Amino acid sequence: MANYRTRLYQFENELSRDIIDNKRLRKLVFSGCPSEKSVRSNCWKVLLNYLPLETKEWEESLDRQRKAYHQFVEEMILKPGTKKYDNNRTDVTLEDHPLNPNPDSQWSQFFRDNEMLLQIDKDCRRLCPDLSFFQSATPYPCKELVNSDLMIETLRRRVEQTVLKSQNVCKNRSGITITDFKKNKKTIDDYVVLAEGEEAHWEVVERILFIYVKLNPGQGYVQGMNEIIGPIYYTFASDSNPDCQAHAEADSFWCFTNLMSEIRDNFIKHLDDTVCGIGE
């Protein structure tokens, strides 16, 4: 216990400096990082180049990047058939509709996004199945998305509307038509259904990955990215500091983006479905 308190003091002392010594911090983290007093969260944010080394710039940097992320959410997760005019959403179905042949229309983009979203949704739903954390409700849901009064739908609802159930239709010996629905695999109906206005932690991870892929269309989504973002989000969302929990989504997005800039060569889309995979 004495050694732990000593290490905790060393971390607090390093993080309280006006200018953090990056090499010294890396050396401390190499042997383990305590989770008390937001030490682990702050260390990860610094080492992933999310927070600057000058601690006096932290507040301004966090505020700027968190606002930028929320702007991404507002601009990229919109319900097709609506546009925003003076902070109000207006129906524009006459000029844009699901059968619009224009490849630049909102609906065309919506259908392309759904193909990628289905894979992200599948991976995020089964993220860390040994932990109940990701299936539980987050105390800080995205208010703009869970508010039923706004014309915006969650990504989970988009997937539920896209996936169709299949049935086997046949006739018995009496000539009566019967339908048989067999579930061989776990479907979206098998997961915990949260109350209206709530969203699970895995939905937050799904939204982070969706926005990342939208901002990086050249790379796209590759299976395994969910395993990278999972520990980052878990660390921030389970922090003892309420402010860190409240902004875990935005902070995780930027840390994940910075990390992917270093390891993106290991996530090549055209190798995702090959025999050798992306690890070769």
Write out pLDDT tens, residues 52-109: 999 999 999 999 999 999 989 888 875 554 555 445 555 555 556 666 666 666 666 6
Higher pLDDT, 176 or 266: 266
On whether the CB atoms of residues 24 and 15 are closer than 8 A, the answer is no
CA-to-CA separations, 212 to 46, 154, 176, in angstroms, rounded: 20, 16, 51
Q: Which of 61-65, 148-152, 193-197 has the lowest mean pLDDT?
A: 148-152
- Residue 231 tokens read as 């520990």
Strand 168-171 vs strand 177-180: parallel, antiparallel, or unpaired? antiparallel
What per-residue confidence (pLDDT) applies to 53? 95
> Angle, to 10 degrees, between the axis of helix 22-30 and the axis of helix 39-47?
130
What per-residue confidence (pLDDT) applies to 110? 73
Place of tokens 């207006």: 90
The pTM for the full model equals 0.80
On whether the CB atoms of residues 118 and 162 are closer than 8 A, the answer is yes
What per-residue confidence (pLDDT) applies to 12? 92
What per-residue confidence (pLDDT) applies to 134? 94
Distance between CA 152 and CA 142 in Å, rounded?
11
Mean pLDDT of 211-216: 93
Mean pLDDT of 157-164: 64
What per-residue confidence (pLDDT) applies to 44? 96
Q: Which pLDDT band holds residue 187 (cuts at 50, 70, 90)?
A: low
Q: 192 CB contacts (<8 Å, ≥6 apart)?
A: 135, 200
- Residue 180, helix vs strand vs coil: strand
Q: Which of 48-62, 73-87, 219-233, 234-248 has the lowest mean pLDDT?
A: 73-87
